[in-house]
Amino acid sequence: SPSRPRDGGTCPCRVSSVLNRDVKQFGKKHMFDASEETCWNSDQGTCQWVTLDFPRTVKVSQLHIQFQGGFSSRLCTLEGCRAGEELAKISDLYPEDINAMQISFAAFQVEETVLDKLKITFENGTDFFGRIVVYHLGVLGERL
């Protein structure tokens, strides 16, 4: 089975926004803490995003995202690059928003791509105000 190339503790991660700038309650670290109780909650606005800067080059094979129902994204655009290069599009992913109460889990096979940086842009959100809520973000693959 594929190993995890990173976790939130070792991989610098940036996000587009945090709801009410309340990093303690809704910050990016909550996507990687393996808790069902905590999440990253973006602020309002279209095209929220997450970038991951891997400490070492990785070959990504799968992406796992767990959204709050009603606060997910109908389209996720993946971009990646090697160190010092410009981001280039890898693929489009289409998560399903199961219902407004449920947490929906999406696992995507990604065409194996070698990269040092990954950007996930959440386009076409299901929330009227563009907020995205992610309980878990996992990238599977191997360190090179």
Domain ranges, ordered by start, for the chain: 13-143
The whole-model pTM stands at 0.87
What's the burial of 51, exposed, middle or buried (CB within 10 Å: 0-12/13-18/19+)? middle
What's the burial of 33, exposed, middle or buried (CB within 10 Å: 0-12/13-18/19+)? middle
Among residues 120, 108, 129, 137, the alpha carbon closest in space to that of 38 is found at 137
Task: Encode the chain (144 residues) as per-residue pLDDT tens digits.
Answer: 445 544 444 568 999 999 999 999 999 999 999 898 999 999 999 899 999 999 999 999 999 999 998 899 999 999 999 999 999 999 999 887 665 556 667 778 887 789 999 999 999 899 999 999 999 999 988 988
CATH number of 13-143: 2.60.120.260
